[in-house]
Structure 1
Amino acid sequence: MNSKNIAKGGLFTAAGFIFLYLSSFMPTNKLAFLILSSVIIPITLLTCNLKTAILVYSATSLLSLIIPNKVICIVYIFLFGIYGIVKYFAEKINNNVIEFIIKFTFFNISLGICYFIYSTLFMGLTNSKLPIYILLAGAEIGFGLYDFILTGFISYFLNKFNIFTKNK
């Protein structure tokens, strides 16, 4: 790993942590800051390399443990943070059906892990007035929209800032 990637990795880790920290104490826009923190990993992949992206994800995940809101930490570690790397490998396959299956399988497993950890740690706080199938359908639609927007952001980033990706 060269010094340029180390420096960028440190900046990306700091940015990811700042977004996570803001999502933990801001009364509104928690999801927006979580999504912004998840965008950091694809940017790292585009401007550095896979090794740096994994290190940024790992460092940001470890730093997220000091955030008071542990739900944000859990969701970042098991879903939003790692998704950029999963998306990278899924899209290397170049088969839309397999990509879709991999992405949504990852999402469902991650959602299950987050739900299990949340319901185990915060017993009794998982009650909802909506049936589970409606919640799951909404989550699936939301994830599809998130993936679509993330893909659009990555395309925009590549087109507008391609100077960053030329000199890895």
Structure 2
Amino acid sequence: MLLKRRASAKHVAMGGVLLALCVVLVYLSSLAPSGKIALLALASFLTGILLLETGPGFAATYCLAASALLLVLVQNKIAVVPYIFFFSGYGIVKYYLEKRRPDGAPAVSRWMEYLLKYLMFHGALGISLLFGIFITAGGLETVKTAWNSLPAGLPRAGAILVLELAFLAYDFAYSVFMDFYQRRIRRRISL
């Protein structure tokens, strides 16, 4: 019982430290003139660390706590929307989609895994866009202005393709970071 309580206290302490770091990264992304997505991606890696150390239940609680805390602390709510609807929970979705069955076989096929990831990405993108429309003072006009400000040589479908390629790069970077954490960092820290 005492050992379980110690592990639980360590999980809570780690969650608190990672939550504070997450708030700092998302807050910086709301202030930064560029590199916003990179800071949000770094903040999302923290969910993956917590997922590895504590499991999906604690990581999901962390995502909810981070989202609530960010809504309270970060003044620029638009900067928080992508984190809440996509980046915070992506690690948990990725965990379940890439999880292996006891016999070592993947839980879902690689094709189905990427289809579901892209559905999540596009769903989160759509929800973020709708939420952004309702939250901004300009509403739909602000979104139209941003869409129309894309470079003239870039077709609108090209913009979506660029976002999908960026998502693919993010998914790969997430995997590389989690592998690096497991192989190099995790064994050097005592939890």
Q: Determine if the alignment matches structure 1 residue 132 to structure 2 residue 156.
A: yes
Higher relative contact order (CA 8 A, sep 6+): 1
Q: Alpha-carbon deviation of 1:120?
A: 2.8
Task: Name 2:124's counterpart in structure 1.
Answer: 110
Report the TM-score, using the length of structure 1 for normalisation: 0.91
Q: Alpha-carbon deviation of 1:15?
A: 1.0
Aligned equivalents of 1:8, 1:81: Cα separation in 2: 16
Number of residues of Structure 1 aligned to a counterpart in Structure 2: 167
Q: Alpha-carbon deviation of 1:13?
A: 0.9
Equivalent residue in structure 2 for 1:120, among 130, 134, 137: 134
Off by >4 Å, runs of 4+ in structure 1: 164-167
Query: Does the CA contact (< 8 Å) of 2:78 and 2:135 recur in 1?
Result: no
Task: Name 2:29's counterpart in structure 1.
Answer: 23
CA RMSD of aligned residues (A): 1.9
Specify whether residues 60 and 89 from structure 1 end up closer, same or farther in structure 2 by C-alpha distance, changes over 3 A only: same
Q: Determine if the alignment matches structure 1 residue 50 to structure 2 residue 50.
A: no
Aligned equivalents of 2:186, 2:19: Cα separation in 1: 21
Q: Flag structure 1 segments of 5+ consecutive residues without an equivalent.
A: none
Task: Name 1:145's counterpart in structure 2.
Answer: 169
Aligned equivalents of 2:178, 2:41: Cα separation in 1: 13
Q: Alpha-carbon deviation of 1:151?
A: 0.6
Name which of structure 1's ranges 137-146 and 114-123 shifts more when overlaid on structure 2. Answer: 114-123
Task: Name 1:100's counterpart in structure 2.
Answer: 114
Aligned equivalents of 1:140, 1:146: Cα separation in 2: 10
What are the residue-to-residue correspondences of 1:28-39 with 2, within 5 Å? 28-39=34-45
Alignment identity in percent? 31
**1:100-147: CA deviations, max 9, x gaps?**
111111101111111111123321111223443122111111100100
Equivalent residue in structure 1 for 2:84, among 46, 59, 77: 77
Letter in 2 for 1:85: I
Specify whether residues 56 and 86 from structure 1 end up closer, same or farther in structure 2 by C-alpha distance, changes over 3 A only: same
3-state SS of paired residue (2:34): coil
Task: Name 1:161's counterpart in structure 2.
Answer: 185
Q: Flag structure 2 segments of 5+ consecutive residues without an equivalent.
A: 1-6, 101-105
Letter in 1 for 2:165: I
Name which of structure 1's ranges 70-79 and 114-123 shifts more when overlaid on structure 2. Answer: 114-123
Larger Rg: 2
Task: Name 2:103's counterpart in structure 1.
Answer: none
Aligned equivalents of 1:8, 1:82: Cα separation in 2: 18
Aligned equivalents of 2:112, 2:189: Cα separation in 1: 27
Task: Name 1:68's counterpart in structure 2.
Answer: 75
Task: Name 1:4's counterpart in structure 2.
Answer: 10
Q: Alpha-carbon deviation of 1:165?
A: 9.1
